[in-house]
Chains A and B, each alone.
Chain A
Amino acid sequence: MAATTATAPRAVLLQGNEAVAEGAIAAGARFFAGYPITPSTEIAEVLARRLPQVGGTFIQMEDEIASIAAVCGASLAGAKALTATSGPGFSLMQEMIGFASMAQIPCVIVDVMRGGPSTGLPTEPAQGDVMQARWGTHGEHSVIALVPSSVMECYTLTVEAFNLSEQYRTPVIILSDALIGHMREAVVIPEPGALRIAERGEPDCEPDEYDTVSSTLDNILPRPPLGSPFKVHVTGLVYNRRSGMPDTADPAAAADLGRYLREKIYHHRDAIVRVEEVEMHGAEVAIFAYGSVARSAMAVVRKLRAEGVAVGLVRPITLWPFPTQAVERMAEQVRTVIVPEMNIKQVSWEVQAAVAGRAKVVDYGRVDGKLITPDEILELVKPEFYYHKWEGQ
């Protein structure tokens, strides 16, 4: 083993789910409530051991509904809180994700996606929950969802998820999958202080002004904890943003709140959305891929660029809000966008809408619980470069 100095970053071999758990602790999460479900269970198991060591709380609840409800309660009482689940549990959580959205409760929900619907393929990866993450709860709302492609990103994006949830007072969803969650990779744990950690802090105003001043798009004040002089009222009913109290009789108050809850995210889209572009310089064809599928796409791009084929990768790290601008830019540049995903057309429809006819969109879906391989993606790329002399032709 190579000698290391005291200041060298430590590289450890971690599973994706373990990295989520360690990332959560690094982000300052001190509360987890969850219910066992494959393939997310390791997140609960690691936090059951780790949270008590750092003065936090782990509770195994009676179901996923209770889990997200307890997470909302803990967050309202001042703790950074998360839960983790997979497809069926994620569906059970949708009601309270809507509550968190409406009541503006910062929290993190990790969905380690598996084949579905229903019990489906419990141990196999899928990307079938991407639209559920966007539109799973009822009513008009916006949401932030992040998609890790590596174990390292399981760590860093969990920290980022907490930061975004605190900053925008909103639930943030991490869309991992059975492959990313169970894969092991070397992770360089950042030194304490190397990552930005958003603390909740105290609202900088008098208790009786809180609702009036907390709600402008550019000044989203932190939620004061329950049991403070602010004596907040938190509700899932439509409320007047300036009084914080329910107001279901005034359509203007409802419209104001509805628009605000959407704009709170979309107004800050440039600050929230992150996209990785690989070999896009001069690319004539782009692969738009996220999560574990992006790893196969990356392998194809590297191989083909070495052969002089002008193909690039656009990888959304933030899936919601959708990286529309990056897709528009891509559509102006390339003649074809290939969208491989472990579902049938869920994100490719979204890509098509943003491309708006400026390029050809080729979708490719797989729902058998198997990862889309580099070879499969290569076969999708080949017809787009019919003039290239492909091996074996």
Chain B
Amino acid sequence: MSALVDEQKLEASPTGDYKLPRIKPHTTTEIKAHLRSAKTLWCPGCSNGTITRALIDAIIGLELDPEKVVVVAGIGCSGRISAYLDYSTVHTAHGRALAVATGVKAADPSLHVIVAMGDGDSSAIGGNHFIHAARRNIDLTALVFNNSIYGMTGGQMSPTTHLGDKSTTSVYGNVEPAFDLCELAHAAGATYVARGTSWAYQQLTNVIAGGISHKGFAMVEAMAICPVYYGRFNLTSDPSEFLMSQKEHAVQADKFDEDVRSHDKYPVGLLHHTEREEFVTALGKVNERAREAGNG
């Protein structure tokens, strides 16, 4: 269910017509050509490197001109991706990446704008920008690294930390329910919504590529693992064990049974896909109307 009241007036196409791109993995040498540095500050066992590689694989696979790719990032572990990628990159303030990216895309619609954010970044401090970017259906690809915790500041709970989970600020167990970021994006009007895991690399790459090639607001949630904080407090500090647990939790969207939805069972793959007029395209039409009004 979308939360947009006017959506019934817009033409919608069912998800079933749409096929995700299939991206062939590229060699490490090819991947490295898209990095300023392969040295990161991410902890051993962190999955951010895997997600970064999937993003590069998608960009190469879609044959985008690297000079026309802009990555706008927020603050947190995921935000650091901006310094590593060899594109035009903006490391903004906490929560503000989508608002900055809105200005970038509106000022130069020829750019491929990818917005890298964390879970707290996108849905706590940046939650307002998130729902409004989705509502506008601006052609941005939101890539949310969801590790269910604030890693950079040392393991505090976030809006995607599950009920009962422990963190340094939910010492006795979290009393707040978690956001489902994909459903949040969908309800707010996102026209492409997909989820991947760091465990299933190929699917993650494909859903990122689908998001980039989609004309409209694309939400790609990359389920990340944080063995150092989230894992150690709640599950396991062993990265491989943590990764393997994603295999058990993730259910392919077409086989997903809504009745079992919980943080232990969530759908992955393409979740929602519709077409409606993109925001910057609509602004272009506003300019045409303004010129006609001026001439008439």
Bound Cα distance from A61 to B101, whole angstroms: 12
Is there a chain B Cβ closer than 8 Å to A70's Cβ? yes
Q: Which of A76-84, A175-183, A280-288 contacts B (4 or more CB under 8 A)?
A: A76-84
Q: Are A228 and B88 in contact (CB under 8 A)?
A: yes
- How many residues on the A side are at the interface (Cβ–Cβ under 8 A)? 46
Is there a chain A Cβ closer than 8 Å to B283's Cβ? yes
Name which of B90, B101, B107 has the most chain A CB atoms within 10 A of its CB: B107
Is there a chain A Cβ closer than 8 Å to B281's Cβ? no
Bound Cα distance from A359 to B294, whole angstroms: 57
Q: Which of B65-73, B164-172, B253-261 contacts A (4 or more CB under 8 A)?
A: B65-73
Q: Which residues of the other chain, A, contact B107 by a CB distance below 8 angstroms?
A: 30-31, 57, 73-75, 77-79, 81
Among B87, B93, B111, the residue within 8 A (CB) of A77 is: B111
Given contacts A31-B103, A227-B110, contact A65 B96 (CB under 8 A): yes
> Chain A interface secondary structure, helix, strand, loop or mixed?
mixed
Q: Are B101 and A234 in contact (CB under 8 A)?
A: no
Q: Which residues of the other chain, A, contact B70 by a CB distance below 8 angstroms?
A: 77, 226-227
Is there a chain A Cβ closer than 8 Å to B102's Cβ? yes
Q: Are A225 and B103 in contact (CB under 8 A)?
A: no
Q: Are B103 and A231 in contact (CB under 8 A)?
A: no
Given contacts A52-B286, A245-B83, contact A77 B104 (CB under 8 A): yes
- How many residues on the B side are at the interface (Cβ–Cβ under 8 A)? 42
Q: Which residues of the other chain, A, contact B101 by a CB distance below 8 angstroms?
A: 73
Bound Cα distance from A74 to B110, whole angstroms: 13
Q: Which residues of the other chain, B, contact A226 by a CB distance below 8 angstroms?
A: 70, 88, 90, 104, 108, 111
Among A30, A66, A73, A230, the residue within 8 A (CB) of B72 is: A73
Q: Which residues of the other chain, B, contact A231 by a CB distance below 8 angstroms?
A: 66-67, 86-89
Q: How close is B267's CB to chain A, nearest CB, in angstroms?
A: 29
Q: Which residues of the other chain, B, contact A235 by a CB distance below 8 angstroms?
A: 82-83, 90-91
Name which of B88, B108, B286 has the most chain A CB atoms within 10 A of its CB: B88
Q: Are B283 and A57 in contact (CB under 8 A)?
A: yes
Bound Cα distance from A76 to B99, whole angstroms: 13
Q: Which residue of B lies closest to A98 (CB)?
A: B93
Given contacts A62-B128, A66-B129, A227-B67, contact A72 B103 (CB under 8 A): yes
Interface residues of B (CB under 8 A from A): 36, 66-70, 72, 75, 82-83, 86-93, 96, 99-108, 110-111, 128-129, 132, 283, 286-287, 289-291, 293-294
Q: What are 22 contact pairs spanning A and B, CB under 8 A?
A: A31-B106, A31-B107, A52-B283, A55-B287, A57-B283, A59-B103, A61-B99, A66-B128, A73-B104, A77-B105, A78-B107, A95-B96, A99-B92, A99-B96, A227-B108, A232-B89, A233-B83, A233-B90, A234-B91, A237-B91, A245-B36, A246-B91
Closest 10 pairs between A and B when the two form their complex, measured CB to CB: A73-B103, A52-B290, A69-B99, A70-B103, A74-B103, A77-B107, A66-B99, A74-B107, A73-B100, A226-B88
Interface residues of A (CB under 8 A from B): 30-31, 33, 49, 52-53, 55-57, 59, 61-63, 65-67, 69-79, 81, 95-96, 99, 225-237, 245-246
